[in-house]
Structure 1
């Protein structure tokens, strides 16, 4: 019987690279964004609000990142029938909104990224570009 399991974590450089790639992608599309990165337990590693993004989107980006890390799946994978219940049960700490993706490298979950302030599709596109920049698995 084993009492340990292998794990991996984002480095400071990895977090910075995710942020830089997300900022660059949002700038290229002309849509300022809120960007949040959490570890696999949902603990905040980085939070950045681009000038011109919506203040309230910082809260939803955090919920998207935590949901993606917690479910090990995109935040929008929450079934429609469960979205309101999830938000209520977690006091809006989790959400079914589009824009949160798990961060996996080599199949191992190491965190979540949440993007908010654009359309759901724009948010997810920025998250995908950030994941690609560090060589993470794309969902």
Structure 2
């Protein structure tokens, strides 16, 4: 048994490409957004608040990205009531608002994206579109 593993890592260039793709799609929709990208350890790699995006959406976008990366699943699927308990138990670090997706490439979760400031459906649309810029086989579920 080895003491080391080889794994895919999201680069800063990859994180920037995701944000750039998200901004382009949000602009095309006419919906300013806050966009956050975290690595597989939930550390913030890239963030941008577009002109006109809600200031309070900054933290929710970051938390969506962290939750999606940590849970390895899209946000917004928690059982009613459990979402509040999880938020309280994690000092607000876990959220189940729509708009967070894990970044999955070749079957490996390498991070998460969180988008916020539009409706939940708009946030998800921007996140899905942004992940299409990556090499590999992005998965959204």
SS at match of 2:53: coil
Q: Which residue of 2 aligns with 1:37?
A: 37
Q: Which residue of 2 aligns with 1:23?
A: 23
In structure 1, the gaps of 5 or more residues are none
Q: CA RMSD in A?
A: 1.0
C-alpha distance in 2, partners of 1:92/1:50? 23
C-alpha distance in 1, partners of 2:140/2:94? 21
Q: Does residue 127 of the first structure (1) align with residue 127 of the second (2)?
A: yes
In structure 2, the gaps of 5 or more residues are none
C-alpha distance in 2, partners of 1:43/1:10? 11
SS at match of 1:102: strand
C-alpha distance in 2, partners of 1:70/1:25? 25
The count of corresponding residues between Structure 1 and Structure 2 is 139
Normalised by the length of structure 1, the TM-score is 0.95
C-alpha distance in 1, partners of 2:3/2:104? 23
Q: Which residue of 1 aligns with 2:139?
A: 137
Q: Which residue of 2 aligns with 1:46?
A: 46
Q: Does residue 66 of the first structure (1) align with residue 57 of the second (2)?
A: no
SS at match of 1:92: coil
TM-fit CA distance, 1:10: 1.1
Spell out structure 1 runs of 4+ moving beyond 3 A: none
Q: Between Structure 1 and Structure 2, which shows a larger proportion of helix residues?
A: 1
1:65 and 1:101 in contact (8 A); partners too: yes
Normalised by the length of structure 2, the TM-score is 0.94
C-alpha distance in 2, partners of 1:78/1:40? 21
* More divergent stretch after superposition (126-135 vs 73-82): 73-82
